[in-house]
Amino acid sequence: MRYLTWGEQGSPMHACRRHLMKPLRIAIAEDNWFIAEYLCGELAALGHAIVGRARTGEELIDLVAHERPDLVLADVRLADGSDGLAAAKEVQERFDIPAIAATGHLTATEAEVAGLLGILSKPYTPYALRAVLDGAAAWLDGGSSRPFLRR
């Protein structure tokens, strides 16, 4: 006998999970190809659109300037010694687009002090990713005051 896990193709939750949150247009800043691929797959499975991927802070700023996503997921240590936290803060200040730190190199307190919308700690789980995105979607829809999202 095979059991379906939450959200797995064919499970009752799979059929309804795309309707629980607003689909978001998301930019990813991640220099590790495998992690970026994992995030893209999980985000697509949740019904979100990936507008692009950046490996450096400069690439993230350019990507956001051209694509105007709803949300940014950014690692804080990017390629070429680039500072993802500084880039995420610049995205929020210049473009008024919220950013969530997706990293294992930052505490929740540091992310909150930096003014980010939240933190998604590595290693990611599908549950944690979904919970953070649910909160971001609710806030972007105007359904709540600005939260600090952490998982």
The domains located in the chain, with CATH, are 23-142 (3.40.50.2300)
Give Cα separations from 40 to 25, 26, 50, 52, 144 (angstroms).
12, 9, 7, 10, 27
Mean pLDDT value across residues 2-25: 50
Q: pTM for this one? A: 0.82
Mapping DSSP to helix (H, G, I), strand (E, B) and coil, where does residue 28 land?
A: strand
Segment 32-66, tens digit of pLDDT: 999 999 999 999 999 999 999 999 999 999 999 99
Burial of 12 (0-12, 13-18, 19+ CB in 10 A): exposed
> Is the pLDDT confidence value at 16 over 70?
no
For tokens 């680039």, the residue is 82
